[in-house]
């Protein structure tokens, strides 16, 4: 009997439950979509790399001395000598060996004078290894002289190159010009492998330009004897060569490179899961509110069931069954939408990487399981509190009015206070302690739940104040009173908006504080008039021809030139940014470095200086010893000569220039700072310097304002993600407000009929409902801005040792959030207002 009644109740409230289910649909869509995209592209990358080393039985190489920790870092593999190649050839089971030269860092200059843009893969420079099952020439011939190269078809198409064209190539040495002798492709009619760009030189040229040596090899290609076991020979080689060497099969080599290519997928998956988390968290409040209102409106019905003998357990089961049905349907729809989003996202990402083809849509079992688990469990948990409340309806309530009593909700207040207190403690541990991300995330969640539970305490006075903006006319005054009528309902409805706005406000505040700190730091510290650096400003992004810098130093109007090269080194087990300056005294001047301790005047051999943050993090002080392992050469021991105050433009450890020339990945400067003579024309000097740097097309000559804008642009990606999160939160907030207003109108049908009967027009009814919606939405946004602003300022203060020295609020964005909330309120009111305005007056008055 209860099952039948529950199903009838569910079918009679289809629209209400669909509205609450849409939040679950969004959450499941993001969860399943991220998993589908990741799995589909993982399979596509694996397929792309399958056979990439099919012409190699085994590959031997030295392990890198500094392993890359970011996707844009270039790892240097130490070169092998000819003796190692011969040593490998003598082992049993080896039929033949050949030395290979292959390293990242060969960049082709296009016909527009700029470096050909990357296509998602590395840029390799290698020695031509001949045609094989993997590689075949499509036009021209192999490079046979020091002035010839062959390029892969993907690069040739991207750069518009044909056989016979002249092309400039940047490597570990300044620009050199070559003739395109041939264009080659890969097996399976592939123009490239996962978007890589490859320039093939003759072996001596590749060794000199890519490895910085003569007679060296990046690896050894091993061909096995016909009866040899790959595993046995691999084990023998590993024993013979020792732990400093990697001995891999061709398939293992391909698997390692495909793993490295997945970094961007992991990042994108985290972003999508972040959207899903917001959708789930905000959706919980929407579902709680929906079921709470439905239970309140079914008070007489539930009381009658209790009077007829239904137990509390049956009432709880009835409500949970409804929530199960909503979760099941919503999860199914969300999974279907997620598969569609996954297919579209995989195609879009694959199209951004030349040579990567989607290897068929993949829906992992985990996506299905997680989707239904998230959808059903979240919905049922959200409905549990209203279900427990419904079970407490006394049978005597059948003779009472169905209105929900307005009690003080003391238990809710105490619970909210406790959760907020615990959340703030965990937040403090996460922000100022060493607990990591776990207490921070948990603290944020508990704080939001606590604030949401406490919101009814301020709901009524807050909406009355906000409603005063619209209360001059009768419809506005009525809307204001309606929004303040049920503080608990208004608070839960506004919580969806509050949480979303609070999250994006917190992130925006941290970003604004970081950007303001960078801007102030550059304005304070940078003494140079012009700067030449790559768009990313990183070690791997650009190189500058040293000869060009010498010519610039002699140019009229240029007073000082300070050039630096950047790299990564290993200190202990961790990577550490390192820098070297051609002229340390000029560097101190253009960067405005100030001494914190020790001596900064000179940088003698065997000594280093560093900024305060690095010294504190490494536990170092003046006079201490530190050992650095650079990309090349053996580990070097240094004495800390001095520590300089933290600046925006220089961090990490500074080593003598001679050591960088010997052991850094690149011997060429990657940044240059120019001070102009008094009275020099900045625009003319900029044009003159840019002309002298024409053979270093990766760098752009920037003014101080340009540098500030470039560093500020690094926060654009963060803000883009923030806007996406805000969009998800506002979409769910729209659903919440629509649901609340629709159910509220149904609850107040008789009241609205009487208002219409005494003269309230349809237009006034629409304005009344719209006012109620806008006030609720603005209440959530104002509360979210206050909570998010405080959280963001606290987080920014905790990041002081990371260079965030200023606190700032993004006032323009906060105003946009408020305006957006008002627009959301208007949009959310349209459907309920239309329904309320069309009520039949006589039918509404007689509604019981």
Q: Residue 449's closest CA among 284, 582, 208?
A: 284
Q: What is the pTM of this model?
A: 0.75
The torsion angle over the Cα atoms of residues 734, 736, 741 and 742, rounded to 10 degrees, is: 100
- Can you tell me the distance from the alpha carbon of 259 to that of 410, in angstroms, rounded to the nearest whole number? 54
Helix (H, G, I), strand (E, B) or coil at 650: coil
Structure confidence by residue, pLDDT tens digits, 279-301: 777 777 777 766 776 666 666 66
CB 824 within 8 A of CB 497: yes
Q: Residue 777's closest CA among 479, 457, 472?
A: 479
Does 32 have pLDDT greater than 70? yes
- What per-residue confidence (pLDDT) applies to 69? 64
* Residue 269: band (very low, low, confident or very high) from pLDDT cuts 50, 70, 90: low
Q: Residue 129's closest CA among 193, 198, 48?
A: 198
Q: Please, which contacts does 707-714 make with residues 24 or more away whose CB atoms are closer than 8 Å? A: 707/522, 707/526, 707/531, 707/533, 708/518, 708/519, 708/522, 708/523, 710/535, 710/537, 711/515, 711/518, 711/519, 711/522, 711/537, 711/648, 712/515, 712/518, 712/519
Structure confidence by residue, pLDDT tens digits, 483-534: 777 777 777 777 777 877 888 888 888 888 888 888 888 888 888 899 998 8
The mean predicted confidence, pLDDT, of the chain is: 82
Least confident residue range of 405-414, 460-469, 670-679, 726-735: 405-414
Least confident residue range of 222-236, 477-491, 638-652: 477-491
More confident residue, 103 or 415: 103
CB 96 within 8 A of CB 89: yes
The torsion angle over the Cα atoms of residues 461, 462, 468 and 474, rounded to 10 degrees, is: -70
Q: What is the DSSP string of 758-801?
A: TT--HHHHHHHHHHHHHHHHHHHHHHHHHHHHHHHHHHHHHTGG
- What per-residue confidence (pLDDT) applies to 537? 45
Q: What is the DSSP string of 630-645?
A: -SSSS-EEEEEEEEE-
Burial class from Cβ neighbours inside 10 Å (0-12, 13-18, 19+) for residue 270 reads exposed
Q: Residue 346's closest CA among 786, 792, 45?
A: 45
Instruction: Tell me the angle at which helices 299-307 and 263-297 cross, rounded to the nearest 10 degrees.
Output: 70
CA 195 vs CA 155, 356, 661, 691: distances in Å: 9, 7, 31, 32
Rounded average pLDDT over 49-61: 81
* Residue 202: band (very low, low, confident or very high) from pLDDT cuts 50, 70, 90: very high
Alpha helices in 556-618, H assignment, sequence order: 584-591, 612-618
Rounded average pLDDT over 526-551: 80
Structure confidence by residue, pLDDT tens digits, 622-634: 999 999 999 988 9
Structure confidence by residue, pLDDT tens digits, 742-756: 766 766 677 777 777
- What per-residue confidence (pLDDT) applies to 234? 92
CB 605 within 8 A of CB 639: no
Does 7 have pLDDT greater than 70? no
- What per-residue confidence (pLDDT) applies to 361? 77
Structure confidence by residue, pLDDT tens digits, 233-253: 999 999 999 999 999 998 888
- What per-residue confidence (pLDDT) applies to 538? 46
φ, ψ at 303 (rounded to 5°): -65, -40
Rounded average pLDDT over 567-574: 88
Rounded average pLDDT over 703-723: 75
């Amino acid at each position: 009997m209860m099952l039948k009644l529950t199903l009838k109740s569910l079918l009679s409230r289809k629209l209400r439950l669909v509205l609450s289910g849409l939040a679950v649909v969004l959450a499941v869509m993001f969860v399943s979509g991220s998993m589908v995209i990741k799995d589909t592209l993982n399979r596509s990358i694996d397929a792309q790399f399958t056979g990439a080393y099919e012409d190699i039985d085994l590959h031997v190489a030295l392990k890198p001395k500094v392993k890359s920790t970011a996707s844009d870092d270039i790892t240097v593999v130490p070169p092998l000598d000819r003796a190692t190649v011969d040593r490998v050839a003598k082992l049993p089971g080896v039929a033949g060996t050949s030395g290979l030269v292959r390293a990242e860092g060969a960049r082709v200059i296009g016909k527009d004078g700029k470096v050909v843009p990357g296509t998602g893969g590395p840029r390799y420079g290698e020695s031509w290894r001949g045609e094989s099952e993997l590689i075949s020439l499509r036009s021209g011939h192999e490079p046979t002289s020091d002035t010839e190269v062959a390029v892969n078809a993907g690069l040739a198409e991207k750069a518009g190159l044909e056989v016979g064209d002249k092309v400039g190539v940047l490597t570990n040495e300044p620009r050199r010009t070559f003739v395109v002798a041939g264009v080659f492709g890969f097996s399976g009619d592939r123009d490239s492998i996962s978007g890589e760009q490859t320039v093939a030189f003759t072996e001596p040229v590749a060794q000199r330009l890519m490895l910085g040596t003569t007679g060296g090899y990046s690896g050894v290609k091993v061909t096995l004897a016909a009866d040899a076991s790959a595993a046995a020979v691999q084990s023998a080689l590993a024993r013979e060569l020792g732990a400093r060497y990697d001995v891999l099969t061709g398939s293992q080599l391909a698997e390692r490179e495909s793993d490295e290519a997945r970094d961007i997928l992991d990042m994108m998956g985290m972003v999508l899961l972040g959207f899903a988390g917001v959708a789930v968290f905000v959706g919980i409040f929407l579902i709680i509110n929906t079921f709470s209102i439905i239970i309140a409106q079914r008070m007489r019905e539930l009381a009658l069931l209790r009077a007829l003998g239904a137990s509390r357990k049956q009432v709880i089961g009835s409500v949970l069954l409804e929530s199960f049905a909503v979760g099941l349907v919503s999860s199914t729809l969300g999974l279907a939408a997620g598969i569609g989003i996954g297919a579209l996202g995989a195609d879009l990402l694959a199209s951004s990487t030349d040579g990567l083809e989607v290897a068929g849509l993949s829906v992992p079992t985990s996506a299905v399981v997680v989707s239904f688990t998230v959808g059903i469990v979240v919905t049922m948990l959200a409905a549990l509190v209203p279900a427990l409340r419904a079970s407490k309806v006394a049978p005597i309530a059948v003779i009472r009015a169905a209105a929900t009593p307005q009690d003080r909700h003391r238990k809710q207040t105490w619970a909210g206070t406790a959760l907020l207190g615990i959340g703030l403690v965990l937040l403090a541990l996460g922000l100022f302690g060493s607990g990591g991300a776990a207490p921070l995330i948990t603290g944020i969640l508990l704080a939001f739940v606590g604030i949401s539970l406490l919101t009814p305490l301020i709901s009524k006075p807050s909406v009355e104040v906000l409603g005063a903006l619209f209360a001059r006319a009768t419809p506005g005054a009525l809307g204001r009173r309606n929004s303040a009528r049920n503080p608990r309902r208004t608070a839960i409805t506004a919580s969806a908006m509050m949480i979303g706005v609070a999250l994006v406000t917190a992130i925006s505040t941290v970003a604004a504080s970081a950007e303001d700190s960078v801007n102030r730091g550059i304005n304070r510290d940078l003494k140079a008039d012009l700067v030449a650096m790559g768009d990313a400003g990183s070690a791997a992004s650009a190189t500058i021809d040293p000869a060009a810098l010498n010519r610039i130093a002699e140019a009229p109007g240029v007073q000082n030139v300070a050039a630096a090269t950047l790299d990564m080194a290993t200190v202990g087990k961790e990577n550490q940014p390192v820098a070297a300056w051609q002229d340390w005294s000029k560097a101190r001047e253009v960067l405005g470095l100030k001494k914190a301790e020790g001596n900064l005047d000179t940088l003698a051999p065997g000594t280093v200086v560093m900024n305060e943050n690095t010294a504190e993090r490494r536990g170092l002080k003046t006079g201490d010893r530190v050992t650095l392992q650079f990309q090349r050469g053996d580990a070097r021991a240094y004495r800390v000569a001095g520590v300089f105050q933290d600046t925006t433009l220089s961090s990490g450890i500074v080593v003598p220039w001679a050591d960088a020339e010997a052991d850094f990945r690149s011997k060429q400067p990657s940044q240059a700072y120019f001070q102009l003579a008094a009275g020099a024309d900045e625009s003319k000097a900029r044009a003159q310097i840019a002309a002298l740097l024409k053979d270093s097309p990766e760098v752009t000559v920037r003014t101080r304002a340009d540098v500030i804008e470039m560093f500020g642009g690094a926060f654009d990606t963060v803000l883009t993600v923030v806007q996406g999160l805000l969009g998800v939160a506002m979409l769910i907030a729209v659903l919440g407000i629509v649901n609340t207003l629709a159910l509220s109108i149904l609850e107040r049908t008789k009241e609205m009929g009487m208002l219409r009967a005494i003269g309230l027009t349809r237009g006034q009814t629409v304005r009344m409902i719209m006012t109620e919606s806008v006030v609720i939405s603005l209440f959530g946004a104002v509360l979210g801005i206050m909570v998010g602003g405080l959280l963001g300022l606290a987080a920014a203060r905790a990041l002081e040792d990371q260079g965030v020295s200023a606190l700032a609020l993004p006032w323009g964005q906060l105003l946009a959030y408020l305006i957006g909330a008002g627009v959301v309120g208007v949009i959310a009111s349209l459907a309920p207002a239309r329904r309320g305005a069309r009520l039949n007056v006589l039918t509404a008055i007689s509604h019981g």
